[in-house]
Amino acid sequence: MRMILVGPPGAGKGTQAARLVEQFRIPHISSGDMLRAAVKEGTQLGLEADQHMKQGHLVPDEVVIGMILERIKKPDAAQGFMLDGFPRTRPQAVALDAALEAAHQALDVVVVIEVPDALLVERAVGRRSDPQTGTIYHLKYNPPPKEIESRLIHRDDDTAEAVATRTAKYHADTAPIIPYYLEKGILKRVDGVGNPDDITQRLIAVIND
């Protein structure tokens, strides 16, 4: 199964992707996680990405495309993958298609998680992640256990200001990939408002449809 999760920042892509990959037994490939790891390691890629990310801007296409096309060639992705956060622009979608076609592969499904803009800032500002387990919490909606609170991470770009920029970028740059996949007949939509378990069930239902 080769699939993509699309949605605005704070839609729950990371949380849901982590659950879906268990269900479908495919690797979770998050462009944001890969870029954050590169920034932390201080690699050339990380140095290029850092400023763009902090401001809530997109990292240039050529940088991200190269990183993802290399990643999906790895043996663990031979039977499928869950892409989270990529593609985020039309050129990225076109480059992914060309690479898959060259490998005689194709995408099975692209799912958009829909959440109204008004909810996104609160979701992101309250978001915290556990560096030891990768679990994503929300201070109000999914509070972390007290004993791990001190080690939790709040992303640099989960401020109200950066989320506003990221949401605007989503509408300007990423939303145009939706008609692209609609035309290919592989686009599905899921309501991303509600209890995370219910949303997982909605996702599984449309993916298996």
Catalytic member of 71, 155, 188, 189: 155
Angle between helices 177-184 and 90-102 (to 10 degrees): 40
Check residue 31 for interaction with ligand AMP (CB under 6 A).
yes
Of 3, 17, 35, 199, the residue at the interface with ligand AMP (CB under 6 A) is 35
Q: Please say which residue, 123 or 202, places its beta carbon nearer to ligand AMP.
A: 123
Check residue 53 for interaction with ligand AMP (CB under 6 A).
yes
Check residue 9 for interaction with ligand AMP (CB under 6 A).
yes
Q: Please say which residue, 35 or 113, places its beta carbon nearer to ligand AMP.
A: 35
Name the nearest CA neighbour of 138 among 46, 6, 15.
15
Angle ∠(166,170,174) on CA atoms, nearest 5: 140
Give strand pairing partners of 129.
Answer: 136, 153
Whether 2 sits among the annotated catalytic residues: the reply is no
Name the nearest CA neighbour of 170 among 36, 50, 35, 7.
7
How many binding residues for ligand AMP (CB under 6 A)?
A: 17
Catalytic member of 2, 88, 128, 169: 88
Contact 2, 108 (CB under 8 A): yes
Whether 155 sits among the annotated catalytic residues: the reply is yes
Annotated catalytic sites, by residue? 13, 88, 127, 155, 166
